[in-house]
Amino acid sequence: MVFPISGVETYVFIPPLVAFVISFFASMGGLSGAFLLLPFQMSVLHFTTPSVSATNFLFNIVAIPGGVLRFIKEGRMAWPLTWVIVIGTVPGVFIGYVLRIQYVPDIRSFKFFVGCVLLYIGIRLMSEVIAKFRNKHSKTDELEKKFGQRTSHLRKSQHSRVAAGLPSEAVIKTISFSFQRVTYEFWGEIFTFRTVPMFLLSFFVGIIGGIYGIGGGAIIAPFCVTVFRLPVYTVAGAALTGTFLTSIAGIIFYTVLPLKTDMQTSPDWLLGILFGFGGFMGIYLGARLQKFMPQRAIKLILGLVVLYVSLKYILQYFV
């Protein structure tokens, strides 16, 4: 099948299948999978025009709602964190769109940019897996310890090999939300972060996401976990929701506000919808099964894949 806008020629089942696999694992870490889907489009499908970024945004819009609904249903949506991310990211996405069209339209420079972003994400993820990068005992360690103890206990009591996951009482409860600080409770532990630094992080991440076409969740989620010390179980839903809402803004910018009339910037609608359909199923199942997976396993899988792709894209710039 040939997709007319992008010029991509592939079997019709390939886009949803690839998106399903990527999104299934990525959603467990609060990511939509768009950060890996874009390299697939460029390197495998040879879709390299600026509209590939817009197609990635379209994928997010179609794919993410299933996972968001799952996190809401299970009470693992940190709404104050979500709104801070959205308010900070949207204006950044617009700036990122302008920079993408004006300064990084060629594929070689864009791949180098993508590689640098992925390298940062990969290092952040892997730093939580490698013990020497962990310099103190944290509340997220307590959650991981509880996770292991609960799983071990229920496996013995039920004589089953099936993981037990998080208990029903492990829900997010907002304690306070102000311009200075946000505090919430999760599974008996209190977590807090300063509002302004999170807003500024979201703004700069929005710029990067606007260039890349990822909405920013792929960068915000690891940063929230490693720097703000928030558990991935509570970050995932907020990151996905923020990515969904900012992707809507990204589609509008790339489609309605063309900066160069001789350049294709609007998404390949059919291709994006097919990616989104597979991503919808992958994110929904990933969000459902996230509570059965230890945080370190999630980070290890994502970190290894991200580092491989990042190094490949960075090296191509110098060859």
Mean pLDDT of 130-140: 55
* Whole-number Å distance between alpha carbons of 111 and 92: 20
- pLDDT for res 160: 44
Least confident of 6-10, 108-112, 176-180, 231-235: 231-235
Q: Are 74 and 248 within 8 A, CB to CB? A: no
Residue 115 has pLDDT above 60, yes or no: yes
Half-sphere exposure of residue 59: CA atoms within 13 angstroms, side-chain side: 34
- pLDDT for res 128: 67
* pLDDT tens-digit map of 261-288: 667 788 999 999 999 999 999 988 887 7
Mean pLDDT of 91-110: 86
Residue 32 in tokens? 């939509």
- pLDDT for res 164: 44
* pLDDT tens-digit map of 17-28: 999 999 888 777
- pLDDT for res 313: 87
- pLDDT for res 159: 47
Alpha-carbon distances, residue 313 vs 48, 90, 171 (angstroms): 13, 27, 39
Q: Are 85 and 202 within 8 A, CB to CB? A: yes
* pLDDT tens-digit map of 175-208: 999 999 999 988 778 899 999 999 999 999 889 8
Alpha-carbon distances, residue 156 vs 149, 153, 162, 165, 184 (angstroms): 11, 5, 10, 14, 32
Sequence ranges of the domains in the chain: 15-131+138-150+172-318
Q: Burial code of 255-266, b = ≥16 C-beta within 10 A, e = fewer? A: beeeeeeeebbb
Sorted by sequence, the CB contacts under 8 Å of residue 61 that are 6+ apart come out as 244, 247, 248, 251, 276
Band of pLDDT at residue 57, cut at 50, 70 and 90: very high
260 or 316: whose pLDDT is higher? 316
Q: Side by side, which strands form the sheet with 172-177?
A: 172-177, 181-186, 189-194
* pLDDT tens-digit map of 285-319: 887 787 677 667 777 877 888 888 889 889 988 87
Q: Are 219 and 119 within 8 A, CB to CB? A: no
Averaged pLDDT of the chain: 82
